Chain A
Amino acid sequence: MSGHEQFAEDLALYALGALQGDERAVLEKHLEDCASCRRELESLRGDMSLLAMSTAGPKPPARARKRLIDAIAREPRGSVVPVRRRPWWALVPSFAAAAMALVAVFFWSQNADLRQKADGLQTEQTHLQAELLRAREVVATLTASDAMTVTLVAAKTPPQPQGKVMYVKDRASLIFLASNIPAPPPAKAYELWLIPMKGAPMPAGMFMPDAHGSAMVINPPLPAGTEAKAFAITIEPEAGSATPTMPMVMMSQGA
């Protein structure tokens, strides 16, 4: 901490989550550039973990363990894709991201067609590999943890919860991007629903917003060929529900 004493006490408050306003902003700016203070912050959090040890004693009831085990057994891996570190993703999902997703779907389709036609043809295979590589690059950009995603809206528009669904029914391929989503109540999560032209709403993936309110769902299990009338979002138990619990907190426009 030598040379950084002016930040020492604020760092302790920051670690505890007690520093607000200008002091917090100034310290966060300093932390971006100061490895020494970042290490001290990590040590202060270590001190906090020791303080937690003073509370040791009460054990959680057995039902808490069963609740967790049941929840993870019911939650298929891969249906939830947490989004990390997207400080610029503060507004609505960008048209750029949407375009990249559509391009990815296009290349995926094109690759499938080429795969049928290119049997034994080296030149076609080379073409296919190039297309696949480009598709992967698009998907890699879409899902990169350090991707900077920005949406421009009319000036002075207050942030609103936004979701964007890209759905290709014949392939049952769905990409959902959301931003400005508030944290759900404890032990709850958001669930996306596909409302078909006929029949009951279909679960289309669980998601939790990250610290910046962003989330995404990619290709949840859906039957191919389902024509969608609308999409909706509800708040459900973390393990998900088979039928939506009212109210629908978000709904596709025009539905």
Chain B
Amino acid sequence: MASVEGKGTLTDTALVSAIRSGDEEAMAFLYDRYSGVAYSVALRVLGDTGAAEDVLQEVFMQLWRNPGAFDAGRGNLGPWLAVIARNRAIDLLRKRRPETDIADVVVSVEPDLAGEAERARAMEKVRDVLSRMPSAQRSALEMAYFEGMSHTEISAKTGEPLGTIKTRIRAGLLALRKAFAT
């Protein structure tokens, strides 16, 4: 049991390294660490627990089969898995095949979200930023992020100019980044 507890404290990089050697236990630890965020974002996009479980399974199986796709030198695992899960959920929602190789997805973000407390703080902060965002901006960002709508589709739905939608989406993302800037 000591080795299990010891492995639970390993860094993401060490666990991914163990997965490269076929260590199933390391995979279980990473699942316990990040399945929540991958599942919750897929569930929000797809609105169906079964479909969200399928995304969760697919994302972690991709990591198991190809741990080299995650480059620890260029980002943290939690944010990477969150983006991969969101993108795959959107692919399913829009009924399209994956457009990007997961190995080509590099995610750079300040908080590493490896600890449960860090994730809880990040969640509070993000929700706070969203609550203070002008509703039109938040709405445009959420339509693009959670519904996979293009700026053209959002413009058609809201009746606002394309340029305005583009600006709102980018400004929304930058507002999140600013809130976490040290």
Residues of A within 8 A of B (CB): 8-13, 15-20, 39, 41-61, 63-65, 67-69, 71-73, 75, 77, 80, 82, 84-85, 182-183, 186-187, 208, 210-212, 238
Structural contact, A186 and B170, CB atoms closer than 8 A: no
Structural contact, A50 and B122, CB atoms closer than 8 A: yes
Given contacts A18-B151, A43-B109, A48-B83, contact A187 B166 (CB under 8 A): no
Residues of A within 8 A of B166 (CB): 9-10, 12-13
From B53, B87, B163, B177, A50 is in contact (CB under 8 Å) with: B177
Residues of B within 8 A of A (CB): 22, 24, 27-28, 31-32, 35-37, 39-41, 43-44, 49, 51-58, 60-62, 64-66, 69, 74-75, 78-80, 82-83, 85-87, 90, 92, 97-111, 113, 119-120, 122-123, 126-127, 130, 141, 144-145, 148-151, 163, 166-167, 169-170, 173-174, 176-177, 180
Which of B24, B51, B85 has the most A CB atoms < 10 Å from its CB?
B24
Given contacts A13-B144, A186-B51, contact A52 B101 (CB under 8 A): no
From A20, A51, A72, A182, B141 is in contact (CB under 8 Å) with: A51
From A12, A46, A82, B170 is in contact (CB under 8 Å) with: A12
Q: In the complex, what distance in Å separates the CA atom of A132 from the CA atom of B166?
A: 56
Given contacts A43-B109, A56-B36, contact A208 B83 (CB under 8 A): no
Residues of A within 8 A of B104 (CB): 85, 211
Residues of B within 8 A of A60 (CB): 35-36, 39, 52-53, 56
Closest Cβ–Cβ distance, residue A87 to chain B (whole Å) = 10
